Amino acid sequence: MLPPKYLPMVAKHITRHRGRTFLTLAGIATTAFLFYVVRVLNEAVRSATEASAADATLVVYRRDRYCPFSSRLPEDYARQIAKLPGVRSVLPMQILVSNCRASLDVVTFRGVPPEAFASTVGREIEVVEGSLADWQRRGDAALVGQRLAQRRGLRPGDRFSIAGVTVTVAGVFQSPHPADREIAYTHLEFLQRSSRDMLGTVTQFILTVDDPLLLDEVARSVDTHFASAQDPTATWSEKAFTARAVADVIELVQVASWLGWGALAAVFGLVANAIGLAVQGRVRDHAVLQTLGYGKGLIARLILAESALLSLTGAVVGLAAGMAVLHWGRFSFSMEGLTLQANASMGTALAGLALCLGLGVLAGVFPAWQASRRPIVSCLRAG
């Protein structure tokens, strides 16, 4: 550890060559920013697609269909599915999206029966503006996710139109699931009537099973039951359904992950280069410090502290910029009516800070070792 009284000396060494220091800090900040954004995207994909033992939800879709526009199932399937063993509840749902392709600005409507809403998906949301009663009472009403409301500047009482559907905002809700904050819930019949030739059909069914261990068994029984029907089904767990829909995004994020780790390697290279140049330019200074009583170990610690402080400063700037951009930008990525949100994460930022600090210290080890091994006489003769 370096005593605090030496920190002003370390700071003075860093600011001696301001141009070089500025360029180094800019490079570290840029790479830290890139690393943070990539890690947040990776975390968004992981949380949306990683299954857990507590998952008890299935999604029933039209077989061989991959977009809400093309998936049509008879609404009457709900009655038949409810009779299958292991099924606790069935919720028919109509999905309408403004754009089925991958996009950064998509509005998703989910039409559900108002009488079943409160006991199913409505249990996990909290209406923070407006009221659920207004939504249940009015046929053209919509409950809008908080992020969608903020992005579009919507408040209770406002009317807006997307994809040919005009609704009145009855309330704004908050949800523990990030993907739900970008959607709008409407009445099922209203959305069916608003969509051409959709009366009596739905996009999908949301099933809740009695026991999470029966998830695969119930999925097979549903698909077997409708295997010979005019509209056969394909049933997945909710996380598997999301992973299938955003498979292309997952591949892109996996490739981007290598860029994130490459950014950390760039941090190491930038710090190592800056500290190496600084040490080479201060060979005589180190000799003078040794003649004044500074031990070789103390000189090595001064160089390590300089390396760590340089890396830490650049990382703080880059990570803070990344958090600000994601927080204020409210970026989300949608595909096939499913949304992945890039939310600013303090935990990811702290992990990035620790990694940059560790790499900064590591980058200073060799220059510090070199400086501590030079004899005083050879240092005084240098230059």
What's the pLDDT at 284? 62
Asked whether residue 68 is assigned to any structural domain, the reply reads: yes
Asked whether residue 274 is assigned to any structural domain, the reply reads: yes
Mean of the per-residue pLDDT values for the chain? 80
Both 280 and 188 in one domain: the answer is: no
pLDDT in tens, 27-37: 888 888 888 88
**145-149, 235-239, 318-322, 345-349: lowest mean pLDDT where?**
235-239
Both 217 and 122 in one domain: the answer is: yes
- Asked whether residue 290 carries a pLDDT value surpassing 70, the answer given is no
Asked whether residue 155 is assigned to any structural domain, the reply reads: yes
Q: pLDDT band at residue 381, thresholds of 50, 70 and 90?
A: low
Q: pLDDT band at residue 257, thresholds of 50, 70 and 90?
A: confident
pLDDT in tens, 61-100: 888 877 777 788 999 999 999 999 998 889 999 988 866 6
What's the pLDDT at 308? 85
User: What range does the domain containing 358 cover?
Assistant: 4-48+248-381
pLDDT in tens, 45-66: 776 666 555 577 888 988 887 7
Both 256 and 125 in one domain: the answer is: no
Both 259 and 323 in one domain: the answer is: yes
Both 286 and 368 in one domain: the answer is: yes
What's the pLDDT at 172? 93
Both 74 and 223 in one domain: the answer is: yes
Among 231, 263, 282, residue at a domain's last position:
231
More confident residue, 243 or 355: 355
Q: pLDDT band at residue 282, thresholds of 50, 70 and 90?
A: low
Both 25 and 80 in one domain: the answer is: no
More confident residue, 224 or 108: 224
Q: Are 172 and 130 in contact (CB under 8 A)?
A: yes
Across the range 251-271, mean pLDDT stands at: 77
More confident residue, 324 or 334: 324
Asked whether residue 236 is assigned to any structural domain, the reply reads: no
CA 281 and chain centroid, separation? 44
- What is the percent of the chain with per-residue pLDDT over 70, rounded to a whole number? 80
- Asked whether residue 221 carries a pLDDT value surpassing 80, the answer given is yes
- Asked whether residue 272 carries a pLDDT value surpassing 60, the answer given is yes
pTM over 0.95: no
- Asked whether residue 178 carries a pLDDT value surpassing 80, the answer given is no
Q: pLDDT band at residue 196, thresholds of 50, 70 and 90?
A: low
Both 226 and 345 in one domain: the answer is: no
More confident residue, 340 or 112: 112
What's the pLDDT at 321? 92
Please tell me the total count of domains within the chain: 2
Residue 19 phi/psi, 5° resolution? -60, -50
Cα separation, 341 vs 333, whole angstroms: 6
**Measured CA distances, 322 to 21, 317, 325, 340 (Å):** 21, 9, 5, 18
Q: pLDDT band at residue 337, thresholds of 50, 70 and 90?
A: low
Both 25 and 139 in one domain: the answer is: no
In three state form, how does the secondary structure of the chain look? CCCHHHHHHHHHHHCCCHHHHHHHHHHHHHHHHHHHHHHHHHHHHHHHHCCCCCCCEEEEEECCCCCCCCCCEECCHHHHHHCCCCEEEEEEEEEEECCCCCECCCCEEEEECHHHHCCCHHHHCEEEEECHHHHHHCCCEEEEEHHHHHHHCCCCCCEEEECCEEEEEEEEEECCCHHHHHEEEEEHHHHHHHCCCCCCEECEEEEEECCHHHHHHHHHHHHHHCCCCCCCEEEEEHHHHHHHHCHHHHHHHHHHHHHHHHHHHHHHHHHHHHHHHHHHHCHHHHHHHHHCCCCHHHHHHHHHHHHHHHHHHHHHHHHHHHHHHHHHHCCEEEECCEEEECCCCHHHHHHHHHHHHHHHHHHHHHHHHHHHHCCHHHHHHCC
- Asked whether residue 377 carries a pLDDT value surpassing 70, the answer given is no
What's the pLDDT at 81? 92
**72-86, 124-138, 226-240, 268-282: lowest mean pLDDT where?**
268-282
Both 206 and 268 in one domain: the answer is: no
Both 82 and 25 in one domain: the answer is: no
What's the pLDDT at 169? 92
| Burial category of 161 from C-beta neighbours within 10 Å (exposed 0-12, middle 13-18, buried 19 and up) | exposed
Both 197 and 133 in one domain: the answer is: yes
Asked whether residue 58 is assigned to any structural domain, the reply reads: no
What's the pLDDT at 187? 93
